[in-house]
Chains A and B, each alone.
Chain A
């Protein structure tokens, strides 16, 4: 039964993908990854809306939109795309890593504190109580934790549970979100910087400290990173090509990020504001605006039930908390728990220099600004935490830093690919690959193909050809 449930998620996600981006060519890796993320996001939103409305969170009810979208996908066939061998290689790498992760995940029970105290608990409560029961979801008195956390991951756990999957299956489902993260990175980076860069990006992500651990643990951090990375990659694609479907899909990914963890909203807000700033257009604000509207039901539930955030002390009056010792503790703590090697930042800077030389400053601003801003926002949480700051950082920084760290890992190969519009690579006809990249459509002046250092990819580039 669990395979049926997963197929429904995938097909439902694919249905919405085709609805929003009918002419997009994502290739097999992008299509599967984005479809999975989309299907799970739809599930999270539907479960929340149904739950907040006081209706039972039964699979037949929360799965109805997925079923309808899945049916529409059968009727609405997407254009088949040719996928380059190297991109398939990146996809195969993702599949092998994913299979390994899934095999490990399937054998582990929920024995980590954050699983049984927060994420799996809420999923199991949705499943076993059959509704958004206030005796759990609004009962801070009985010490239920982090009741303001949104419901995407718990929805996935509940969905799996109702289809007969046990704790092992819950871990596999969450692991599939991590695999989708890798798939989206492979697709997004291959699209903008070529398949070799995609291989580097995927490998860099997996090499991040704790990536395998959080890929098999029922927590929201890697899932939030998956949605936020997907949204950033779509925004970057939009900056190059200005195809509206990129923002529509970006809105879905933004919604997924916001519905996964509270900091997901900060990540998306930063990326959208920066993209809008560098583009001098308001269109890139659409993803965060749509995500905010989608989030409204959960926001209302949290406010109506007066559910505060357990880690944000809004009563901070101690000015010493904002200066001196605590800031030093925070900076050193975040540096200690930064999930990728520090010297990668030097590589990122070198890669950014290449991108800046090629005139791709907008990408550098969005990626570096979002990563730096996210770290700053997370640091601010530790400033106002009511918990003992060192133990709070030690227990969470390695998780919450995952998104900005992975963004820097993705930024390295992305920046290293030079633009054909740059003076050093003006001969766009010099390679067949560049010809493919330059045939993007009617607005070449606003679109930047990619390049010679690592090499671009025709896989999924641009709108469907007539």
Chain B
């Protein structure tokens, strides 16, 4: 498994908080929808694609629900594990 510690915590929190019909933007190292080497945490994207179903991933920067990983954590986001945070609709976007 190409995952870092905390991935399971992130999935559990995301499944609890994000509605099943939501689309989720994953921002990896400050960049949405970007391919990075696996050692930089890219494998997390696949893990989230799988475990968040039926929620689907999107590249729309206006997405209500966002997951920020291994990069800057925006204000209002809830950090659920080291380097991993969920940004929801109640917080200011971005």
Binds B, one of A138-146, A226-234, A277-285, A327-335: A138-146
Residue pair B53, A135 in contact (C-beta under 8 Å): no
Residue pair A113, B50 in contact (C-beta under 8 Å): no
A141 — which chain B residues lie within 8 A by C-beta? 33, 59
Q: How many residues of B contact A (CB 8 A)?
A: 18
Residue pair B57, A112 in contact (C-beta under 8 Å): no
Report Cα–Cα, A145/B47, bound state, in Å. Answer: 12
Residue pair B49, A144 in contact (C-beta under 8 Å): yes
Q: Which of B27-82 contact A (CB under 8 A)?
A: 33, 35, 43, 45-47, 49-51, 53-54, 56-59
Known: A142-B33, A143-B33. A121 touches B54 (CB 8 A): no
Residue pair B50, A133 in contact (C-beta under 8 Å): no
Report Cα–Cα, A120/B49, bound state, in Å. Answer: 11
Q: Which of A119-146 contact B (CB under 8 A)?
A: 120-121, 124-125, 128-129, 133, 135-136, 139, 141-145
Counting chain B CB atoms within 10 Å of each CB, the highest count among A110, A112, A113 belongs to: A113
Known: A112-B1, A113-B1, A113-B2. A142 touches B46 (CB 8 A): no
Would you call A117 an interface residue if the criterion is a C-beta within 8 Å of the partner chain's C-beta atoms?
yes
A153 to B: closest C-beta gap in Å: 15
Report Cα–Cα, A21/B73, bound state, in Å. Answer: 63
Report Cα–Cα, A110/B47, bound state, in Å. Answer: 10
Residue ID in chain B nearest A125 by CB atoms? B53
Report Cα–Cα, A124/B58, bound state, in Å. Answer: 18
A111 — which chain B residues lie within 8 A by C-beta? 1
Report Cα–Cα, A145/B43, bound state, in Å. Answer: 12
Report Cα–Cα, A129/B55, bound state, in Å. Answer: 9
Residue pair A121, B57 in contact (C-beta under 8 Å): no
Would you call A116 an interface residue if the criterion is a C-beta within 8 Å of the partner chain's C-beta atoms?
yes
Residue pair A110, B50 in contact (C-beta under 8 Å): yes
Report Cα–Cα, A143/B45, bound state, in Å. Answer: 8
Residue ID in chain B nearest A111 by CB atoms? B1
A145 — which chain B residues lie within 8 A by C-beta? 46
Report Cα–Cα, A271/B80, bound state, in Å. Answer: 54
Interchain CB contact (< 8 A) of B49 among A110, A129, A133, A143 = A143
Residue pair A143, B53 in contact (C-beta under 8 Å): no
Residue ID in chain B nearest A134 by CB atoms? B56
Interchain CB contact (< 8 A) of B50 among A116, A135, A142 = A116
B58 — which chain A residues lie within 8 A by C-beta? 135, 139, 142
Residue pair A124, B53 in contact (C-beta under 8 Å): yes
Residue pair B50, A136 in contact (C-beta under 8 Å): no
B78 to A: closest C-beta gap in Å: 22
Residue ID in chain A nearest B58 by CB atoms? A142
Residue pair B50, A124 in contact (C-beta under 8 Å): yes
B72 to A: closest C-beta gap in Å: 20
Residue pair A136, B33 in contact (C-beta under 8 Å): no
B35 — which chain A residues lie within 8 A by C-beta? 143
Residue pair B47, A142 in contact (C-beta under 8 Å): no
Residue pair A139, B57 in contact (C-beta under 8 Å): yes
A51 to B: closest C-beta gap in Å: 16
Residue pair B1, A136 in contact (C-beta under 8 Å): no
Known: A135-B23, A136-B56. A121 touches B50 (CB 8 A): yes
A135 — which chain B residues lie within 8 A by C-beta? 23, 56, 58
Residue pair B46, A113 in contact (C-beta under 8 Å): yes
Report Cα–Cα, A215/B46, bound state, in Å. Answer: 23
A360 to B: closest C-beta gap in Å: 48
Residue pair A113, B57 in contact (C-beta under 8 Å): no
Residue pair A139, B43 in contact (C-beta under 8 Å): no
Residue ID in chain B nearest A112 by CB atoms? B1
Residue ID in chain B nearest A133 by CB atoms? B56
A120 — which chain B residues lie within 8 A by C-beta? 50
Report Cα–Cα, A116/B50, bound state, in Å. Answer: 6
Known: A135-B23, A143-B33, A143-B35. A116 touches B46 (CB 8 A): yes
Residue pair B47, A116 in contact (C-beta under 8 Å): yes
Interchain CB contact (< 8 A) of B57 among A116, A128, A129, A143 = A143
Per-residue contact bits, chain A 251-290, to B (CB 8 Å; 1 contact, 0 not) = 0000000000000000000000000000000000000000
Report Cα–Cα, A135/B49, bound state, in Å. Answer: 11
Report Cα–Cα, A295/B91, bound state, in Å. Answer: 47
Residue pair A142, B43 in contact (C-beta under 8 Å): no
Besides the known contacts A113-B43, A142-B57, A142-B59, 7 further A-B residue pairs in the complex with CB atoms under 8 A apart: A111-B1, A120-B50, A121-B46, A121-B53, A125-B54, A129-B53, A129-B56
- Name 8 interchain pairs, CB-CB below 8 A, sorted by A: A110-B50, A128-B54, A129-B53, A135-B58, A141-B33, A142-B56, A142-B59, A143-B35
Binding site for A on B (CB under 8 A): 1-2, 23, 33, 35, 43, 45-47, 49-51, 53-54, 56-59
Nearest first, the 4 A-B pairs at minimum CB distance are A117-B46, A116-B50, A128-B54, A142-B57
